[in-house]
């Protein structure tokens, strides 16, 4: 087929910069190519791994099957009225480019999600979120192709089972679908969300009298760049762990012992969300280094590859962080990153 790559190294295609290989790699730019690749995989009995931006994955071992690099791009306006614009976006489109496209047109809804690395298709997989906003709030539907037989299905909002960094694609539908595109409704009359962290202060520092989505996006970019390492410079996959949600009683017990502990509202009734980075930092692990990998010195939620780390070494570091936090707080952190082990 005309879209096979000659190389087999996956190092350029994962933001941790882990050196692993695949038996073969295919570059998929349109739906027809993917369907032909799927037929090849099915007839040959090989396994298929789909990578977008490679920004939310830890590759622990070589991949014996085929890797599909999703490069199905494009933004298409499919509906518009006085209140909103509905856009359909190819799943291989860069997420941050979509955010910039939106704010440049004064459209609101995803500006708080600026600079999240990776592709659009990864968004609904884990219901990406940042600074008090989640993808599910603008989500309309997605188009997916069955990995079993290539048939197409539309998943509406209710079908996706969105939760905190969660969807059916990480649970009962895991490994069954290739997300082809997602459709979002963006607002022409955006209501800015500035109450998370120091976002409001950062927007005010921009010195704009009437901030809009573009200013919010720029404030988010400024904050993220001040805290998070650039994967192009220091290998990482962003936040490695989810913020844990604990019963309210347990949160109150912890607040009695640690009055300054940050807490956040949870969508789960009777639960409180805690800051995983704070828990890790309280364990003395911020800046902790183990060989060629470690916990970032400015953001304890981020594990980094200082150069030459294997996926196994990074996974062992993650397990050490989990065990240390569990011993101190009796809370088991859950990885946000997809681990291919």
Catalytic residue numbers read: 165, 239, 336
**E-strand spans in 61-193?**
63-70, 75-80, 84-90, 129-130, 133-134, 139-146, 152-156, 177-187
Residue 162: closest CA among 142, 185, 191, 186: 142
Q: How far apart are CA 301 and CA 310, in angstroms?
A: 19
Residue 97: closest CA among 78, 79, 66, 71: 71
- CA dist 14 → 47, 50, 200, 264 (Å): 19, 12, 33, 31
CB-CB contact of 55 with 98 (8 Å): no
SS3 37: helix
User: In the chain, count of helices (H) and strands (E)?
Assistant: 8, 20
Residue 31: closest CA among 150, 176, 118: 150
- Edge-to-edge strands of the sheet including 22-28? 4-5, 22-28, 63-70, 48-51
User: How many Å from the N-terminal Cα to the C-terminal Cα in the chain?
Assistant: 29
């Amino acid at each position: 087929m005309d879209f096979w790559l000659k190389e087999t190294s996956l190092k350029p295609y994962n933001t941790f910069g882990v050196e692993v290989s695949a038996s073969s790699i295919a570059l998929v730019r349109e739906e027809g190519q993917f369907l032909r690749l799927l037929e090849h995989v099915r007839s040959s009995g090989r396994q298929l791994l789909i990578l977008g931006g490679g920004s939310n994955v830890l590759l622990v071992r070589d991949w014996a099957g085929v890797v599909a690099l999703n490069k199905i791009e494009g933004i298409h306006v499919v509906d518009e009225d006085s209140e909103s614009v509905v856009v359909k976006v190819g799943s291989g489109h860069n997420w941050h480019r979509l955010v910039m496209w939106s704010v440049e047109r004064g459209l609101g809804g995803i500006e708080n999600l600026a600079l999240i690395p990776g592709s659009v298709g990864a968004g609904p997989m884990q219901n990406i979120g940042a600074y008090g906003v989640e993808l599910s709030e603008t989500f309309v539907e997605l188009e997916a192709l069955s990995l079993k037989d290539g048939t197409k299905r539309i998943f509406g909002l209710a079908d996706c089972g969105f939760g905190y960094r969660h969807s059916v694609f990480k649970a009962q539908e895991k490994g069954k679908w290739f997300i082809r595109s997602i459709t979002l409704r963006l607002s022409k009359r955006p209501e800015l969300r500035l109450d998370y962290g120091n976002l409001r202060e950062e927007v005010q520092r921009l010195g704009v009298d009437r901030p809009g989505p573009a200013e919010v996006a720029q404030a988010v970019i400024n904050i993220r760049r001040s805290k998070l390492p650039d994967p192009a410079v220091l290998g990482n996959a962003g936040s490695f762990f989810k913020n844990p949600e604990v019963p309210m009683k347990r949160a109150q017990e912890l607040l009695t012992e640690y009055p300054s502990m940050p807490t956040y509202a949870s969508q789960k009734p009777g639960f409180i969300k805690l800051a995983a980075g704070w828990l890790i930092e309280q364990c003395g692990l911020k800046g902790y280094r183990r060989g060629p990998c470690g916990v970032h010195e400015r953001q304890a939620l981020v594990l980094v590859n200082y150069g030459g780390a294997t996926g196994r070494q990074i996974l062992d570091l993650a397990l050490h962080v989990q065990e240390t936090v569990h011993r101190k707080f009796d809370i088991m952190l859950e990885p946000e990153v997809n681990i291919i082990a």
